[in-house]
Chain A
Amino acid sequence: MSPNTNNYYVPSPSLWPLIASIALFLMAGGFAMQMNDIASGNFVLIAGVLVFFYLLYGWFRDVVKESLSGFYNKQVDVSFRWSMGWFIFSEVMFFAGFFGALFYIRNISLNWISQSTLAWPGYSSWTEFTSTWPTNGPAATQALEAMSPWGLPAINTLILLVSGATLTYAHWGLMKNNRKQLTVGLILTIALGAIFLYLQAHEYAEAAFTMDSGIYGSTFYLLTGFHGLHVTMGTIMLAIVLFRVLKGHFDSHNHFAFEAVAWYWHFVDVVWLFLFIFVYWL
């Protein structure tokens, strides 16, 4: 199996796509059952998640093997770069949808509710409602205690910004073939990511409001929750890169996996800055 670096690499037939399809079918079906209180849903969902992790492990292992065997020439590398860029763009649009919803609610629709003069049954009591942010809505019976930006969120901002710097420090190490700097930088970044996640979980546990707390709770938990999920994925990806570094993979020319994860990590950083400004602060 000598690598042919002249031609574009076309992999031989693979069952991973079918396994991906089975995993998503089990996960979606199980989740739908679980949400509708069908007892066996949990088992189907867990089975799907297990198949999914097996898929991730197996498919990425194959890709790493192919990469180490030199099947990926320059052109394949460029394909990887384009595709990772477009993938991150799709993620940007995912968060843009939620931010758009937040802005629409805050700037447009809450004003409409507060300006409502309709005296229909069920609506009449809302004439007292004034548009403020944060709010848990005109029908809420309890006052809302919003999250202050200058406690944990500010610390978390600092942590993520520093983690961006440590990751760049690791990248410099890789470029200079300084494996120690690379390893230390990666370990620091992973540790900062883990601390961020711990503090975020702590913040959730201590919060005086939940997802049920009207539109503030809805937007807060979905935006920060999806961001946290992305930090989790980023941390796992960084851990895999660290594992590969310790096994001696990557050199100063050939390390796209490292760069892709770094792009992703910086993207997650930027999303956090928007969250800090528009969800916690303003």
Chain B
Amino acid sequence: MSTNTATHHDDHGHPTGIMRWVASTNHKDIGTLYLWFSFFMFLFAGALALGIRAELFQPGLQFLEPENFNRLTTLHGLIMIFGAIMPAFVGFANWMIPLMIGASDLAFPRLNNMSFWLMIPAALLLMTSIFVPGGAIAGGWTMYPPLSVQNPSMSVDMSILALHILGVSSIVGSINIITTILNMRAPGMTMMKMPLFVWTWLITAFLLIASMPVLAGALTMLLTDRHFGTSFFDAAGGGDPVLWQHVFWFFGHPEVYIMILPAFGLISTIIPTFARKPLFGYASMVYATAAIALLSFVVWAHHMFTTGMPVAGQLFFMYSTMLISIPTGVKVFNWVATMWRGSMTFETPMLFSIAVVFLFTIGGFSGLVCAILPVDIQVQDTYYVVAHFHYVLFSGAAMSIMGAVYYWLPKWTGFMYDETLGKWHFWLTTIAFNVTFFPMHFTGLAGMPRRVPDYALQFAEFNMISSFGAFALGISQLLFLYIVVKCIKGGTKADAKPWDGAEGLEWTVPSPAPFHTFEVPPTVK
């Protein structure tokens, strides 16, 4: 390895073939790796979801043993969260943060590559756990004891260790990103001049560093309860299974914002471009993001209203949760106000962004409904909750990722994507998404429990509609894959700044962005 240090960074070439990727210290290449990885995980976990929807197409048991149904829901959740959404945002952070703040790379390029390559063993452990005796982990992605302690399958241990590795990756990656933002900004790029995507990632990285170690602690307790005789989650030994829920959700709720704050950043970048107006209320957006992040640490028990808590505790968590809607409302207001009287055009990234504002807000409101204690006691563990978190995670996080991919594809590849196909992808995704998840509000309010492979006959029509929508949604994503590959292979040449309303340093470098950019930092006025 000493030869590596001998070839100094003044050497502008890069290794070709596989070595370019496995040994990379380039933020753009590592960003690309992250984005492709997350896309394949997205398709894989989406295929698991189609297994769920195939089973739920009709009442009764058709395709899956109940145990396998549970494995599908569990792995779908774990892989979508840790394998698809989070790495996609890290991919954007890699590609765009150095370009946006005028830095030559991230602060620690080798650690950056390690953060990526740690995803691979974690994904392998999760995916191969399907084939071990006893089958994959089946207690839900939240891994509540006693099920997760009593399940004798080795897959539970593999999943725990996979999450440990992902935690290391996330913490290392976040330290890298936070250090980059605090220390690598170009001269003149003051904190309050940073693009909002950079701000949201700064705060997200803080959330990750504060919450992932708590998950590591919880997972360690779970592992020692399983194999080394401790009784953290066993009342017979003086522990408490609800303890897991507290520690897990202390991580879990910040995690929810880890998956949505960067999405807010993406939307806040795209909407001003196509409204051809500066972002309305930039400073209030920054403060709102910080407020959401801080509040996220004092709302965790709203996930456990029905598991036993004193009324004072329930009320505290109800009110603190509702408080979050204020900074979130500030954001939605600012996006709408940005579009107000703008000269808007509706290219694919803008379509996705507007859809996110609409659909995420629906998810936000249904979240507010769930926050109301007496209502939550009714809708807890029903499809209403499933509808709620898919409106924030799919039409909030995933669709903002899609919109941002279209937004920066010209910068990444040097070619324009196919606008007609992009619009097709948008409409197919949006319609299919709503067909899939909107009926779940109704089935949930009517009392259909989640994570059960069979259901009462009265839910049959809505479930059939949901399943049709899900398969349409899944197939539409193959179109997305085709559009991206087509764009990489060629097309209309993209200018350095293909969007006339776009602002930011990333548009001052050519398209495609050269391998090295901003080796001499630009000066920001």
A1 at the interface (CB under 8 A from B): yes
Closest-by-CB residue of B relative to A37 is: B154
Closest-by-CB residue of A relative to B241 is: A109
Closest-by-CB residue of A relative to B6 is: A1
Count B-side interface residues using an 8 Å CB cutoff: 89
Mask of B306-341 contacts with A, CB within 8 angstroms, 1/0: 001000000000000000000000000000000000
A residues 35-74 near B (Cβ < 8 Å) are: 35-36, 38, 58-59, 61-62, 65-66, 69
Distance (whole angstroms) from the CB of A261 to the closest CB of chain B = 17
B24 at the interface (CB under 8 A from A): yes
* Pair B157/A36 contact, Cβ less than 8 Å: yes
* Pair A12/B22 contact, Cβ less than 8 Å: no
Q: Please report the C-alpha to C-alpha distance between residue A24 and residue B161 in the assembled complex, in whole angstroms.
A: 10
* Pair A135/B227 contact, Cβ less than 8 Å: no
A151 at the interface (CB under 8 A from B): no
B residues 150-176 near A (Cβ < 8 Å) are: 154, 157-158, 161-162, 164-165, 168, 171, 174-176
Closest-by-CB residue of A relative to B227 is: A35
* Pair B246/A104 contact, Cβ less than 8 Å: yes
| Cβ contacts under 8 Å, B212 to chain A | 90
Closest-by-CB residue of B relative to A69 is: B5
* Pair A210/B213 contact, Cβ less than 8 Å: no
Q: Please report the C-alpha to C-alpha distance between residue A212 and residue B230 in the assembled complex, in whole angstroms.
A: 5
Q: Please report the C-alpha to C-alpha distance between residue A11 and residue B124 in the assembled complex, in whole angstroms.
A: 28
B residues 208-249 near A (Cβ < 8 Å) are: 209-214, 216-218, 220-221, 223-232, 234-240, 242-243, 246-247
Given known pairs A15-B23, A66-B5, the reply for A139 and B240 (CB within 8 Å) is: no
Distance (whole angstroms) from the CB of A173 to the closest CB of chain B = 29
B231 touches which of A9, A29, A137 (Cβ 8 Å): A137
Given known pairs A10-B105, A13-B24, A28-B164, the reply for A94 and B231 (CB within 8 Å) is: no
Q: Please report the C-alpha to C-alpha distance between residue A210 and residue B236 in the assembled complex, in whole angstroms.
A: 16
Mask of A252-280 contacts with B, CB within 8 angstroms, 1/0: 00000000000000000000000000000
Distance (whole angstroms) from the CB of A153 to the closest CB of chain B = 21
A4 touches which of B10, B15, B121, B164 (Cβ 8 Å): B10
Q: Please report the C-alpha to C-alpha distance between residue A251 and residue B306 in the assembled complex, in whole angstroms.
A: 60
B368 at the interface (CB under 8 A from A): no
B104 touches which of A1, A8, A105 (Cβ 8 Å): A8
A208 at the interface (CB under 8 A from B): no
A250 at the interface (CB under 8 A from B): no
Report how many A-B pairs have Cβ atoms within 8 Å. Answer: 250
| Cβ contacts under 8 Å, B226 to chain A | 35
Closest-by-CB residue of B relative to A77 is: B183
B420 at the interface (CB under 8 A from A): no
* Pair A17/B182 contact, Cβ less than 8 Å: no
* Pair A13/B104 contact, Cβ less than 8 Å: no
Distance (whole angstroms) from the CB of B461 to the closest CB of chain A = 40
Q: Which of A80-88, A176-184, A188-196 touches B?
A: A80-88
B1 at the interface (CB under 8 A from A): yes
Q: Please report the C-alpha to C-alpha distance between residue A98 and residue B250 in the assembled complex, in whole angstroms.
A: 12
Closest-by-CB residue of B relative to A8 is: B104
Closest-by-CB residue of B relative to A15 is: B23
14 contacts between A and B (CB under 8 A): A11-B109, A12-B4, A12-B11, A17-B113, A21-B114, A21-B121, A31-B157, A83-B176, A87-B175, A100-B250, A110-B238, A212-B229, A215-B237, A218-B221
